[in-house]
Amino acid sequence: MTLWGPADLGDGRWRFRLWAPDRDAVTLERDGAETVAMTAAEDGWFVADADAAPGTRYRFRLDPDLAVPDPASRAQSGGVDGWSVVTPLTPPAPWQGRPWRETVIYELHAGLCGGFAGVAAQLPALKDIGVTAIELMPVNAFSGSRNWGYDGVLPFAPAEAYGSPDDLRALVEAAHAHGLMIFLDVVYNHFGPDGNYLGAYASSFFHAERQTPWGGAIAVDRPAVAAFFRENALMWLNDYGFDGLRFDAVHAIGDDGFLDQLARDIRAAVAPGRHVHLMLENEHNDAARLSPDRYDAQWNDDFHNVLHVLLTGETDAYYQDFADRPADKLARCLGEGFIYQGDPSPHQEGKTRGSPSGHLPPTAFIAFLQNHDQTGNRALGDRLIHLTDVDRLKAATALLLLLPHIPMLFMGEEVGAQSPFLFFTDFHDELADIVREGRRREFAGFSAFASEEARAHIPDPNALATFEKARVAPGEDAVEWRHFYRSLLDLRHRHIVPGLDGSRPLGARALSDKAVEARWRLGGGETLTILLNLGTEPVAAEESGAPLFTIGAPGGPASCAAWIAPA
């Protein structure tokens, strides 16, 4: 039984429910209709059956001066402080999806693309270069008209600024019509700082004694709270038709039992034979979460971080964990998945992180050179194309797109975009000041922003201009970049993807301080060898099979070469 959100009883009647264990009385208000006193039920629930048609606006009155939206609102009218809207959701058209081995992810922000309709317009171009899956940064309702999405407060309601629920369903259907999967980033570890009313009537939704960077930890160990997130995940998958979910910062949830049960519940509730893919962001590098009955893969920040050090030479803040012998660390990443597998972190004063991961298949790791965090959490939002030379960036891109890990691109990479991707919000008054100054304090640990004068030049997240600057502007060599990505992804789909099931690493080694050679046994018995050199001096290269791809002379400076040897 679904606990959260309105339930259609038929014949124009709907059941409204609110978990408000801190309240003695709750009243249902419908726009233009009589109020209804809700009945107290067990475990802190309040229930009311009432007439309503699709589009009816409603809210819950807690006090004469406080009315709140439904925390499981399927749509909003007037923002997160406004009315919730009765919104029927019917099952989408049948679509079985695509197997995980075929996945090439493209992460994007719907608001920067012009909303859900704008994203749909980009699908043909993305399919053309070989992308097979679109991943939307969070789209649930947040305060204001622009936000990364990680300050959402109504997890079930698509943001009005992007379009209606029907518009989002149309985007999902359009992706499937192009043969593309579509994933959604969901945030179950915190709520945003503006527009979250749960504390006013359900303080036990949180553990006040367990603090996270965003306040009290969410009490996912309580049945009503666990149901809230389980029902949210299943709504996106079963009512909208998304092909998978990426769970943000699950290390901040702090409850592996909840995570494992959530995955099992999801897999039990989707249609048999349907491909549904579940992905984690997890700073703990916890290999135990990655298994066929739980989560398919994890975003591998270790891959990004060590390549960032090799490409840019930056070793500030968390990059210091990858500053020592980075080529050896990259070799461990290619050969075993995680770099930190229980090793002490210099950045965290020797605290250990991670668990052994060498037994996992390469496809359990999602690799990327850039994403929203790693670009947008730079003070000026500068992309890799600003931080290294093009030849070395292309060599690293070839590694990304040909290795047996699952590759992910970030919006704009495929057109050589030089426009920044900046952190943006739409907060006001005191909260805007707190966010602006907090953002600037974050960068005090970076040498370039050690002084207050330097930090004063960091863009204001709340300024409309910051949002506008983050829109993708293709570079002058966009056509060349698109051809480069299309060529590599064509090779991947023809030569790498067919062998990903059953693939395993055969070892990797550093050939110099900036060169690495790695080998994998593909599912058909073939051996894939990749040699990457991001240095200025050549290294010895031995061809190991038929040439698959080369940029630069094999083993030469700023080069990447790949070979496949038959079984």
Name 76's Cβ contacts closer than 8 Å, sequence gap at least 6: 69, 82, 83, 84, 85, 141, 154, 157, 160
Q: Determine contact, residues 143/79, Cβ cutoff 8 Å.
A: yes
CA distances from 297 to 19, 100, 264, 277, 301 (A): 33, 10, 15, 8, 12
Is the distance from CB of 441 to CB of 312 less than 8 angstroms?
no
Closest CA to 504 of 532, 535, 526, 477: 526
Residue 138 neighbours by CB under 8 Å, 6+ apart = 148, 149, 150, 152, 184, 185, 186, 187, 248
- Residue from 255, 164, 269, 174 nearest 218 by CA: 255
Q: Name 36's bridge partners.
A: 28
Q: Which residues are marked as active site?
A: 248, 281
Exposed e or buried b per residue across 533-567, where buried means at least 16 C-beta atoms within 10 angstroms of its C-beta? bbbeebbebeebeeebbbbbebbbbbbbbbbbeee
Phi, psi of 243 (to 5 degrees): -90, -10
